[in-house]
Structure 1
Amino acid sequence: MTATLFSPYRLAETELANRIVVAPMCQYSAAEGVAGDWHSLHWGQMALSRAGLLMVEATGVSPEARITLGCLGLWNDAQEAAIAERLSRTRAVSDLVIGIQLGHAGRKGSTLKPWEGAGHVGAEQGGWEVPAPSALPFADGWPTPRAMIEAEIADVVDDFAASARRAVRLGFQVIEIHAAHGYLLSSFLSPLANRREDGWGGTLENRMRLPLTVFEAVRAVVPEAIPVGVRFNSTDWTQDGITPDEAVGFARALRARGCDFVDISSGGNTITKIPVGPGYQIATADRIRREIGISTMAVGMIRAPLHAEAIIATKQADLVAIGRGFLNNPRWPWHAAEELGVDLVVAPQYQYGATTVYRPTRGR
Structure 2
Amino acid sequence: MPNQLTDHVTLRHGTTLNNRLVMAPMQTHSGLKGGFASEDTIQYYSARSQAAGMLITEFHYVSENGGPAYVPGYPEQLGVYSDAHLEGLRKTAQALKKDGNKAILQIHHAGRAAVGRHVNGLDVVAPSAIEFAFLDYPVRELTLAEIDDIILDFGKATKRAIDAGFDGVEIHGANHYLIQQFFSKLSNLRTDKWGGSLDKRMAFPLAVVKEVKTIIDEYAPKGFIVGYRISPEELHGEEVGYDYKDAISLISEVIKYELDYIHLSLWAGYNSKPKNNEKSYSQLFKQILDDETKLLIVGEVFGEESAADAVENYADLIAVARGTLLDPNFTKKIIEGKGESIIHKISPQTIEYSQLTPGLFEAFSREDSLGLPPLPGGETIQNLHTGKYDI
Shift of 1:22: 0.5
**Aligned residue in 1 for 2:136:** 142
**Aligned residue in 1 for 2:60:** 59
TM-score, normalised to structure 2, is: 0.76
Cα 1:142–1:313 shift into 2, 3 Å: same
Hey, which bits of structure 1, 4+ residues long, moved more than 6 A?
none
The answer to whether the Cα contact below 8 Å between 1:107 and 1:138 also exists between their aligned partners in 2 is: no
Shift of 1:63: 2.2
Shift of 1:128: 2.9
Distance 2:255 2:95 in 1: 35
- The amino acid across from 2:260 in the alignment is D
Question: Aligned-residue CA RMSD in angstroms?
Answer: 2.4
1:302 aligns with 2:301: yes
SS in 2 for 1:298: strand
Distance 1:53 1:230 in 2: 14
**Aligned residue in 2 for 1:241:** 241
Identity %: 28
Shift of 1:240: 2.2
Count of residue pairs the alignment pairs up:
320
1:228 aligns with 2:233: no
SS in 2 for 1:167: helix
**Aligned residue in 2 for 1:204:** 198
The answer to whether the Cα contact below 8 Å between 2:111 and 2:124 also exists between their aligned partners in 1 is: yes
SS in 2 for 1:47: coil
The answer to whether the Cα contact below 8 Å between 2:49 and 2:95 also exists between their aligned partners in 1 is: no
Cα 1:3–1:235 shift into 2, 3 Å: closer
Distance 1:216 1:242 in 2: 22
SS in 1 for 2:272: coil
Select which of 36, 39, 44 maps to 1:37. 39
The C-alpha deviation readout for 1:110-160, integer Å capped at 9, x for no partner, is 25xxxxxxxxx64xx525321111112443443221111100100101111
The answer to whether the Cα contact below 8 Å between 1:279 and 1:299 also exists between their aligned partners in 2 is: no
Cα 1:226–1:138 shift into 2, 3 Å: farther
Distance 2:320 2:96 in 1: 20
Select which of 98, 107, 123 maps to 1:102. 107
Shift of 1:88: 3.2
**Aligned residue in 2 for 1:269:** none
SS in 1 for 2:25: coil
**Aligned residue in 2 for 1:126:** 120
SS in 2 for 1:220: helix
**Aligned residue in 2 for 1:280:** 272
Cα 1:90–1:334 shift into 2, 3 Å: closer
The answer to whether the Cα contact below 8 Å between 2:90 and 2:164 also exists between their aligned partners in 1 is: yes
Moved more, 327-336 or 217-226: 327-336
**Aligned residue in 2 for 1:167:** 161
**Aligned residue in 2 for 1:48:** 50
Shift of 1:5: 1.2
Matches within 5 A, 1:242-257: 242-257=242-257
Select which of 313, 327, 330 maps to 1:329. 327
The answer to whether the Cα contact below 8 Å between 1:110 and 1:127 also exists between their aligned partners in 2 is: no
- The amino acid across from 2:140 in the alignment is R
Distance 2:148 2:36 in 1: 25
- The amino acid across from 2:185 in the alignment is P
Distance 1:321 1:99 in 2: 13
**Aligned residue in 1 for 2:385:** none
Cα 1:3–1:255 shift into 2, 3 Å: closer
- The amino acid across from 1:128 in the alignment is L
Distance 2:61 2:114 in 1: 10
Distance 1:216 1:144 in 2: 31
- The amino acid across from 2:159 in the alignment is R
**Aligned residue in 2 for 1:263:** 263
**Aligned residue in 1 for 2:185:** 191
Return 5+ residue gaps in structure 2 as ranges.
274-278, 341-352, 354-391
- The amino acid across from 2:82 in the alignment is N
Distance 2:84 2:164 in 1: 13
SS in 2 for 1:4: coil
Select which of 65, 72, 75 maps to 2:78. 72
Cα 1:306–1:73 shift into 2, 3 Å: same
The answer to whether the Cα contact below 8 Å between 1:132 and 1:147 also exists between their aligned partners in 2 is: yes
The answer to whether the Cα contact below 8 Å between 1:48 and 1:94 also exists between their aligned partners in 2 is: yes
Distance 1:86 1:334 in 2: 20
Cα 1:173–1:70 shift into 2, 3 Å: same
Shift of 1:211: 0.7
Shift of 1:335: 4.1
Distance 2:20 2:132 in 1: 35
**Aligned residue in 2 for 1:359:** none
SS in 1 for 2:65: helix
Moved more, 276-285 or 188-197: 276-285
Distance 1:134 1:231 in 2: 22
Cα 1:306–1:100 shift into 2, 3 Å: same
